[in-house]
A and B are shown apart, each in its own frame.
Chain A
Amino acid sequence: MANEVCLRTLDLERPWLLEQYQSRGGYEMLKKVLTEKTPPDQIIEEVKKSGLRGRGGAGFPTGLKWSFITRNAPGQKYVVCNSDEGEPGTFKDRDILRYNPHQLIEGMVLAGYAIGATRGYNYIRGEFWEPYERFEQALEEAREAGYLGENLLGSGFDFELHAHLGAGAYICGEETALLESIEGKKGQPRYKPPFPAHFGLYGCPTIINNTESLASIPMILEKGGEWFSDIGVKNSGGSKLFSISGNINNPGVFEIPMGTPFSQLLEMAGGMKDGRQIKAVIPGGSSAPVIPGDQMMELTMDYDAIAGAGSMLGSGAVVVLDDTNCMVKVLDRMSYFYHEESCGQCTPCREGTGWLYRVVHRIETGQGRQEDLDLLDDVAGKISGKTICALGDAAAMPVQGMLRHFRDEFQYHIDHKRCMVGAG
């Protein structure tokens, strides 16, 4: 049961072309909805039934999010796709853009129809030039075929869609920072409420969804919400794209049912490199707390199982670490990232991420003090839940996770001024 939704055309020779996408029934769902004038509520119901939860990391139910929009309110509404893909370890949306851009376009038009929006933007990270060009090419084909523009297929429904390119800023993946960025500003998150459903792009009602969430819509509508839901497990409907990387033989993107045992995913990814032992796994992007390898080998890949182990499924970015890795060094690099990428708007995040990085870095470089471990716990605790956006939590959680499971390695660094692992 692999590659049934977003990657279902991957076996085709040039799946990004319109004609190839259509050879697998692409745009049939859109045609059906437009000609039958399917009631929008029926679409939202189907998405709710599917159990689809936002694939960008937060896991918010997509159908529920769509129902927050007052469809009949006057004025412009927007559908925005989040292809910023900046969470370290994540590289799945890039494959959707490169290999199945039409399914994303179809999903976005259907989303627009469902919420009564006639315009959309896809925010693609600035470094993704090749995926951006693929997407632009697909937009052109779709426009020509009458799937975008005015009066789609004579239905009276209009939908125009454009790509917006980022320019390098992790924070722009946060939905309100992303909106600011489209508006031509610095990407600094907005206070919420108001939520984008009421005050979004250019102040208009807006839904923002991840690339994978939106690209899943055509199949959910074609085969039914129940079909999608049944692929997965309780609370985790459907299949999911997992980006798996690290010390493994065959890193890559795998679309597999939610609830698949991690051990099976690891096997698909070729197992551990050089016959090494698995030491730890970061299961959902770098902000997800680390899970020790032996514990991970017993878990399944779904929201509840990973949350039950004190971490989160996040964006489905799985980083596998073998026993040659020093966890202090790994955390040092992650803390540097969050410190660099904090937008600086709130004090606990701006100052706290700086503290976390400096303290972890001095432990890593043999300058650590005994009180540093408690200091880290304390600083992380002071960031959590006290900031405008979730970047603050994203910085604190990996620190807490590392100290929970690998405190001894940090202690060793402080005591011996060097790594427990290897010669380093």
Chain B
Amino acid sequence: MSTTVAKDVNELFNPEVRSEIDRWIAKYPPEWKQSAVMAALRIVQDDNGGWLTTELMNDVAAYLDMPAIAVYEVATFYSMYELKPVGKHKICVCTNVSCMISKADNIVEHLEKRLGISFGEVTEDGRYSLKEVECLGACGGAPMMQIGQQYYENLTPEIVDAILEGLE
């Protein structure tokens, strides 16, 4: 019989991840640990190279005393969670109206050509992935993109090149 041994909740995640999740749990009423699920998913995703495995989601569920299905629901509802591997640098390009009329198309085309991938794909070496995103609330700097936590605004193909060359 193949049974999965229930993990000890206190052994889930590494200490930094655990303490970061605990910091979020402390923000909410004690009976509402579940409120920390969005933060917990983000934290474990970052720690796992940018994407969530089923095992990680199950661990989050165990850690927060939630049914696993409730965690999957959250992970699939919000667009910033990734359920498949992404590049080391996830490049999110806004194509909504203000960016579109400020020539976001050129930026997308340039990135696709330079990286040899389209939206939703990862480069073979795993360095980059491309994602189309909705308005990121920075339309004054259109066209714009986000890589990691950073916004890059007023883009031109030349600026995009310089940004990519500056990444680790």
In the complex, A262→B92 CA distance in Å?
33
Contacting pair B79 A167 (CB below 8 A): yes
In the complex, A334→B98 CA distance in Å?
11
Q: Is A369 an interface residue (CB 8 A)?
A: no
In the assembled complex, which residues on chain A have CB atoms less than 8 Å from the CB atom of B102? 245-247
Number of A-B contacts (CB under 8 A): 141
Q: Is A395 an interface residue (CB 8 A)?
A: no
Q: A56-64, A85-93, A149-157, A301-309: which one contacts chain B?
A: A85-93
Q: Is B115 an interface residue (CB 8 A)?
A: no
In the complex, A251→B32 CA distance in Å?
42
Q: B6-14, B69-77, B121-129: which one contacts chain A?
A: B69-77
In the assembled complex, which residues on chain A have CB atoms less than 8 Å from the CB atom of B135? 86-90, 286, 337
Q: Is B117 an interface residue (CB 8 A)?
A: no
In the complex, A83→B62 CA distance in Å?
30
In the complex, A337→B94 CA distance in Å?
11
In the assembled complex, which residues on chain A have CB atoms less than 8 Å from the CB atom of B70? 184-185
In the complex, A243→B149 CA distance in Å?
22
- Residues 294-335 of A contacting B (Cβ, < 8 Å): 317, 319, 321, 325, 329-330, 333-334
Q: Is A252 an interface residue (CB 8 A)?
A: yes
Contacting pair A127 B146 (CB below 8 A): yes
- CB contact between A162 and one of B27, B42, B138, B140 (< 8 Å): that residue: B27
Q: Is A166 an interface residue (CB 8 A)?
A: yes
Contacting pair B97 A168 (CB below 8 A): no
Contact with A along B24-63 (1 / 0, CB 8 A): 0001110010111111011000000000000000000000
- Residues 274-295 of A contacting B (Cβ, < 8 Å): 282, 286
Q: Is A53 an interface residue (CB 8 A)?
A: no
Whether A184 contacts B34 in the complex (CB less than 8 A), given A89-B98, A245-B139, A286-B97, comes out as: yes
Residue of B nearest to A93 (CB): B137
Contacting pair B73 A186 (CB below 8 A): yes
Q: Is A340 an interface residue (CB 8 A)?
A: yes
In the assembled complex, which residues on chain A have CB atoms less than 8 Å from the CB atom of B137? 85-86, 90-91, 93-94, 125, 127-128
A-B complex: 9 closest residue pairs judged by Cβ atoms: A168-B79, A184-B34, A167-B78, A129-B149, A168-B80, A88-B135, A245-B139, A186-B77, A162-B27
Supply 4 further A-B pairs (C-beta < 8 A) apart from A76-B29, A245-B98.
A89-B135, A126-B38, A181-B38, A341-B134
